[in-house]
Amino acid sequence: MAQDTLRIGIMSFAHLHAEGYIQNLRQTPGVEMIGFSDTDAERGQHFAEIFDAQWYPTHEALIAEQPDGVIVCSENAGRRPLVEMAAQAGVHVLCEKPIEVTLADAEAMRDVCEANHVNFMTAFPVRFAPSVRECKDKIDRGELGRIYGINGINHSEIPRAHRAWFAQKALAGGGAVMDHTVHLVDAMRWFFNSEIVEVYAEVDNLFYPGEVDVDTAGIVLVTFANGVFASVDCSWSRPTTYPRWGHFKMDIVGENGFVVLDSMAEQFSVYSRHLPRHPMWVNWGANSNQAMIEEFVTSIREKRQPSVTWRDGYEALRVALACYESAESGQPVSLDR
């Protein structure tokens, strides 16, 4: 018997990942991508034309179409009201990271989803990358023995054009630390099934002083409850001409071995005067965003919790906020467990 079609929409095109998600939804079997909502008319019309997609000028108009699920891609500071709107209508939610900019708003999002019996999935596509999953399997199988430490790197260029809000503190809640720490922290938590108990961070605006009011670089040191020590090098240090948008790398040091992870290395270089970047790296490997979208859809269809939950987004946000607290005080910050 054919499976019922699930109707999925996107709430806001503010986040750059919305451009990929609209394609992912169209490629997911058993899914109808019903369109996207955006209260910015210029942005809405722009992307509606590019993607030949239905644009709803209000979020209420999209929810009125009674989708089964939505992907929330607004500015960081605007996600709580969209999640509340969707949940109160009985619509399942996949939410971009960081899920909000305060713990109180994040907790309110959990409460409304639980009260209305809808799923909340945090958008951490890195967990679905084959190389990252292989590292997780190696650690679970004990192949590396005791893990002594991890060095994590997540670099990118500064968001520009339609996504300038990334560098506006009121909308983003921070800069490179808020943007990049969460991905690495989530993967490390997942690797060890252990929580971070202490954070120390040095945060600064090294790359765009006087141009933006947020941090563009950070070095973060974290200690896990299981004793593993890790560092996170997060920055918007890449020039806008860099071939790819970002990195996700780790050096994992264990008693029985050493693993070098580069989850975005499956690329080949293209050189052409017709390309906006010189050169461009084109992905030939697995699409982790596609796998994440399919997990969200499957969790709705199977009436179960997704493999990445609200708690994962919340704990990553806790660490990002602790980074700013530590940088302000110059002292390590303990996370109450």
DSSP characters over 68-122? SEEEE-S-GGGHHHHHHHHHHTT-EEEE-SS--SSHHHHHHHHHHHHHTT--EEE
pLDDT at 1: 35
- Looking at the structure, tell me whether residues 327 and 178 fall in a common domain: yes
Q: Last residue of a domain, which of 118, 134, 163? A: 118
Tens digit of each residue's pLDDT (9 = 90 or more) over 141-189: 999 999 999 999 999 888 876 688 999 999 999 999 999 999 999 999 9
Provide the residue range defining the domain that includes 82: 6-118
- Looking at the structure, tell me whether residues 52 and 171 fall in a common domain: no
Around Cβ 137, how many Cβ atoms within 10 Å? 10
- Looking at the structure, tell me whether residues 194 and 151 fall in a common domain: yes
- Read off the tokens for 18: 């919305």
Considering the domain boundaries, does residue 206 fall inside one? yes
My answer on whether omega of the bond before 332 falls inside 30° of 0, hence cis, is: no
Number of domains in the chain: 2
pLDDT at 161: 60
pTM metric for this prediction = 0.94
- What average pLDDT does range 45-59 have in this prediction? 97
Q: Last residue of a domain, which of 118, 137, 171? A: 118
Q: Last residue of a domain, which of 84, 101, 118? A: 118
Using a pLDDT cut of 90, give the percent of the chain over it: 84
Tens digit of each residue's pLDDT (9 = 90 or more) over 217-257: 999 999 999 999 999 999 999 887 777 767 899 999 999 99
- Looking at the structure, tell me whether residues 92 and 198 fall in a common domain: no
Tens digit of each residue's pLDDT (9 = 90 or more) over 32-49: 999 999 999 999 999 999
Considering the domain boundaries, does residue 152 fall inside one? yes
Whichever domain contains 230, its CATH number is 3.30.360.10
Residues 42 and 161 sit within 8 Å (Cβ to Cβ): no
- Looking at the structure, tell me whether residues 199 and 86 fall in a common domain: no
Per the listing, tokens 């929580």 go with: 195
